[in-house]
Structures are given as C-alpha cells and as structure tokens.
C-alpha cells in the first residue's frame, strides 16, 4: 500500500510506520484532530474475504477523506491508525474465522491525518452457505466508551 | 399463467390507518393485472402476522425490513420489488420544553414511548447509544400508532419518542411545534419490500413485471396514490441479502 502523502496533512504532524499484515510497512502521518461522527448516519463498507474494500457508502467516503476510487480495491487497513492495538484486529479476524459477529470500538485514520472514533459491527456475508465477504457498519459511539478505549488501547499498545 | 389457486396477501402492520383502503384498491388491481385469486389479510400487530407467516398462510407480503431476514433466509421468500424513494428513517423526538438538545443530553432512566414498528424501534435504540442508554437503563411504553404517540409525549408520559420519519412529518404543524427533534436517521438502505413465498414461484416474473410497470398502467397512478408510493423498483436477491446483513449488524 502507498505511504500517506505529507502534502495531504494540515497542521502539526507525527510520522509512524505501521507494519501491516498483508501489505508490509506503511508510513502514515497523524495530527491530533478528531472529526465528529456524522449525526444519524451509518458508515458502511463491504469487503471480500481478505478485507479488500469492495463497496463504501457516501458517509464512509466522506469520513475517510479519500475519493471513492482510492478506496475500492484497497485493504481495509488503509484506515489503520497507529494508536489501534494489534489485539483489536486479531480479535476481529479470529471472531470472523469462528463464524461470529464482531463488535468493537475503532479509531480510524483519515487521509488528512485526522481521526474519527466508531463503534463497528462486522458480519459475514453468507451466500449459498459460503462466506463471500463481510459487511461492516459503524455507528456513533458514546464518549464514555471512547474514553475507556483510549486507556485500554494505550495499555495494549505499550505491551506490544 | 394464471391458475385457480387462492393466495393471501398481507401488509406490514405499520401502515397508516388511512392507507387501509389503498391496500384493498391495490389488491383488486393486482388481481385484475395478474389474473390471480388474491385475498388481502390484514393483521393488527406484528406478532399475529409472524405466526400467520410461519403457518404458511401468507403468499405475498409488503414486509417490514425487520422481518425480511426471517422471510428470505428461513422461509425462502423471494424479494420482487421495493417502493421507489421510500427508505425507512427514524426520528427521535422530545417535548419542545425538554432541556435536552441532542441525544447526549439524555440521562439514565429515560422514558421511551414507541409503537410496535420493529425496524424503527431498533434504529431508535441504536441512536440512543451515544448517551450510554440501552434496554437496561431505559423504560419503553408501547402505543398503538404515531398520533397517539405524539399526544402522550406532549402530555409528559415519556421523555422521548421513536417515530417513523414519514409519520412524524405527517403530524400537524400545531403538534410539531410542541415537539423537538433530537436526531434523524439518514440510513437510506433500509426499506419495505414486496416478497413472494415459494408457493408463488411460477408467478414471480409476472408479479414483478406488473408491479414494475404500474406507472404506465391506466389505473396504476391512482393505485399508487392511494398507497402513498411513487412506484416500484426492481429488487435483486443481493439487494435483499445486503439489507439483511446490514440489519443484522444493528440487532445488538
Ligand atoms: C469488513 C471489515 C471492515 C474493517 N474495517 C476496518 C476499519 O474501519 N479500520 C481498520 O483499521 N481496520 C478495519 N478492518 C481490519 C483490517 O482489515 C486490518 O486487519 C486492520 O486494519 C489491521 O491491519 P493488519 O491486519 O494489516 O495488521 C476491517 C476488516 C473487515 C473484514
């Protein structure tokens, strides 16, 4: 996956290198700016069985800061924020492999380096008895839960 | 090809009372158009309707999205069409003099008033989560319809009400002036649909064609008007599966 482009970032940025599972190292830039979850909306994406984005609704595209054609065909880790612990996504993939629905709080990284928190639910798309992909639907999380996750994710990160 | 069997049509019980006549007009039109013998059976509530469906008493249904999963995945119904431009959106409303101005202003112990409309109630419960509210720290009173809901909300019987957006918009201006909208959903991919049971398998195509072409039929526009629907759009199997997966993410 391409590195993020510092020219897309506004404000005081920090550089990090993520080690993505499928894509290897990716340089990302973050700024300390939170974008509020859009009121009343759901952020929806579909992926294939490997986590490659096959569909994104308008709220998804707008919140990510990317254009739709920059998202379709990319790994979902294009939104991976360096503050997210690996354990969160391991839990996601383990649950999906076990045929379970997954819920979790996720801090996502935008193209402009800012971030947004979501409460995500992922289910398998089962067609004719086979898993052909996944649907992820994100809704607005409570501030209390976000604050708990900030503490928890920092502990998990520090232990990595 | 028409046949001499008898079929039952039913309608999601969340339709507005003044649309009952419209569904009878629709049924008469559909019988003429397809040559099928169809009886319209209406139910007072979702529970009664679901048990009729499970007892295989229903062949054709204008279904609430909440029931689409059961109909398609358990009972093998096929999605035929959906109404054009008519997604189900929910509105959470409080009294105009309530100090709350957004969902996050709501507190534990919040008293909810709602109808038995299952998709709107599900969306409503999801939209109060940002205030850390759920079944365990709220109470819900159920009422028969949205007009009663508005009245009871205004008289202080509850703190917030869950409305179908269309029903809220239809309230009189006098009523709306006494209420305040806290949040409106903008989901756009949850909608009612016309589904047919396997008993109608040989009629799927003719039913779909009749409904898709209703706008160009001489009597069609009058029928649509009576239903408050602009027309019907094709709905593929994958459209139905997509919506069912999405609803599944919202169940908890
Ligand atoms: C349907 C679906 C949606 C996902 N949504 C996100 C997301 O919004 N943000 C994110 O960082 N990872 C998301 N993931 C997880 C990524 O695929 C990936 O596992 C994660 O970003 C961590 O990267 P890595 O697995 O390369 O270490 C999603 C996965 C699936 C299957």
Q: What would the pLDDT profile of B40-71 be if each residue is shown by its tens digit?
A: 999 999 999 999 999 999 999 999 999 999 99
CATH topology of domain B6-86+189-251: D-Maltodextrin-Binding Protein; domain 2 (3.40.190)
CATH of domain B90-184: 3.40.190.10
CA distance A121 to chain B (A): 6
Cβ distance A40 to B132 less than 8 Å, yes or no, reads no
Closest residue in A to B126 (Cα) is A139
Q: For chain B, count helices (H), then strands (E).
A: 10, 11
Confidence of residue A10 (pLDDT cuts 50, 70, 90): confident
- Of B129, B249, B251, which to mutate for an interface test with A (greatest number of A Cβ within 10 Å)? B249
pLDDT at A151: 98
- For the beta carbon of residue B41, count every other beta carbon within 10 angstroms: 15
DSSP annotation of B59 reads S
Ligand 1 atom having least distance to the Cα of A77: 21
Cβ of A74 closer than 6 Å to ligand 1, yes or no, is no
pLDDT at B3: 79
Closest residue in B to A134 (Cα) is B245
CATH topology of domain A6-159: Beta-Lactamase (3.30.450)
Q: What is the mean pLDDT of residues A18-27?
A: 90
User: Is residue A104 pLDDT above 90, yes or no?
Assistant: yes
The verdict on A123 touching B (C-beta cutoff 8 Å) is yes
Q: Where in chain A are the domains?
A: 6-159
Report which protein residue has its CA nearest ligand 1's atom 28: A76
Confidence of residue A16 (pLDDT cuts 50, 70, 90): very high
Q: What is the mean pLDDT of residues B123-144?
A: 98
Q: How far apart are CA A39 and CA A13, in angstroms?
A: 28
pLDDT 10s digits, A59-82: 999 999 999 999 999 999 999 999
Q: What is the mean pLDDT of residues A107-111?
A: 98
Report which protein residue has its CA nearest ligand 1's atom 5: A76
pLDDT at A53: 98
Kindly provide the ipTM of the predicted complex, given to two decimals.
Answer: 0.96
Q: For chain A, count helices (H), then strands (E).
A: 4, 7
User: Is residue B1 pLDDT above 80, yes or no?
Assistant: no
Q: What is the mean pLDDT of residues A110-137?
A: 98
Confidence of residue B231 (pLDDT cuts 50, 70, 90): very high
Burial B142-176 (b: 16+ CB within 10 A, else e): ebeebbebbeebbeeebbbbbbbbebbebbeeeeb
Interface of B with A in 102-131 (CB under 8 A): 104, 126-127, 129-131
Average pLDDT, whole number, for chain A?
96
Cβ of A26 closer than 6 Å to ligand 1, yes or no, is no
Q: Where in chain B are the domains?
A: 6-86+189-251, 90-184
Any idea which residue has 């919140």 for tokens? A63
Q: Check if B6-86+189-251 and B90-184 are the same fold.
A: yes
Report which protein residue has its CA nearest ligand 1's atom 25: A21
Q: How far apart are CA A50 and CA A131, in angstroms?
A: 11
A96 CA to middle of ligand 1, Å? 12
Confidence of residue A22 (pLDDT cuts 50, 70, 90): confident
User: Is residue B128 pLDDT above 80, yes or no?
Assistant: yes
Average pLDDT, whole number, for chain B?
96
Cβ distance B249 to A121 less than 8 Å, yes or no, reads yes
Q: What is the mean pLDDT of residues A125-136?
A: 97
Cβ distance A141 to B183 less than 8 Å, yes or no, reads no
pLDDT 10s digits, B206-217: 999 999 999 999
CA distance A43 to chain B (A): 9
pLDDT 10s digits, B163-208: 999 999 999 999 999 999 999 999 999 999 999 999 999 999 999 9
Residues from chain B contacting residue A139 (CB–CB below 8 Å): 126, 129, 250
Cβ neighbours for B129, distance < 8 A, ≥ 6 positions apart: A119, A139, A140, A141, A142
pLDDT 10s digits, B7-42: 999 999 998 888 999 999 999 999 999 999 999 999
Ligand 1 atom having least distance to the Cα of A47: 1
Q: How far apart are CA B240 and CA B193, in angstroms?
A: 9
pLDDT at B74: 96
Confidence of residue A14 (pLDDT cuts 50, 70, 90): very high
Confidence of residue B73 (pLDDT cuts 50, 70, 90): very high
């Amino acid at each position: 996956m391409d590195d993020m482009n510092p020219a897309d970032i506004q404000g005081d940025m920090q550089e990090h290198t993520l080690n993505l599972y499928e894509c290897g190292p990716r340089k990302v830039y973050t700024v300390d700016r939170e974008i509020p979850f859009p009121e009343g909306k759901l952020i929806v994406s579909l992926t294939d069985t490997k986590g490659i984005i096959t569909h994104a609704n308008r709220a998804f595209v707008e919140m990510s800061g990317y254009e739709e054609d920059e998202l379709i065909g990319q790994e979902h880790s294009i939104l991976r924020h360096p503050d997210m612990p690996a354990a969160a996504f391991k839990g996601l993939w383990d649950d999906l492999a076990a045929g379970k629905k997954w819920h979790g709080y996720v801090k996502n990284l935008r193209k402009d380096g800012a971030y947004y928190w979501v409460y995500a639910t992922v289910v398998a798309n089962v067609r004719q008895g086979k898993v052909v992909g996944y649907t992820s639907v994100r809704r607005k999380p409570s501030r209390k839960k976000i604050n708990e996750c900030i503490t928890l994710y920092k502990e998990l990160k520090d232990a990595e | 090809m028409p046949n001499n069997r008898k079929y039952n049509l039913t309608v999601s019980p969340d339709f507005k009372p003044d649309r009952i006549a419209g569904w009878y007009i629709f049924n008469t039109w559909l019988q003429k158009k397809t040559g099928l013998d169809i009886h319209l059976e209406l139910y007072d509530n979702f529970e009664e309707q679901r048990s009729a469906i499970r007892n295989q008493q229903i062949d054709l249904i204008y279904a609430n999205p909440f029931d689409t999963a059961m109909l398609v995945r358990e009972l093998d119904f096929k999605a035929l069409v959906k109404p054009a431009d008519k997604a189900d959106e929910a509105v959470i409303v409080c009294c105009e003099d309530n100090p709350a101005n957004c969902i996050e202003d709501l507190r534990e112990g919040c008293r909810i008033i709602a109808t038995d409309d299952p998709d709107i109630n599900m969306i409503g419960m999801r939209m109060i989560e940002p205030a850390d509210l759920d079944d365990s720290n709220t109470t819900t009173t159920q009422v028969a319809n949205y007009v009663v809901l508005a009245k009871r909300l205004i008289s202080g019987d509850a703190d917030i009400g869950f409305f179908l957006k269309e029903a809220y918009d239809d309230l009189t201006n006098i009523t709306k002036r006494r209420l305040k909208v806290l949040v409106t959903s903008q989901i756009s991919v949850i909608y009612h649909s016309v589904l047919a049971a396997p008993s109608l398998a040989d009629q799927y195509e003719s039913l779909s064609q009749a409904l898709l072409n209703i706008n160009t039929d001489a009597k069609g526009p009058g029928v649509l008007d009576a239903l408050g629907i602009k027309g019907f759009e094709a709905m593929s199997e994958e459209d139905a599966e997509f919506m069912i997966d999405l609803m599944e993410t919202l169940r908890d």
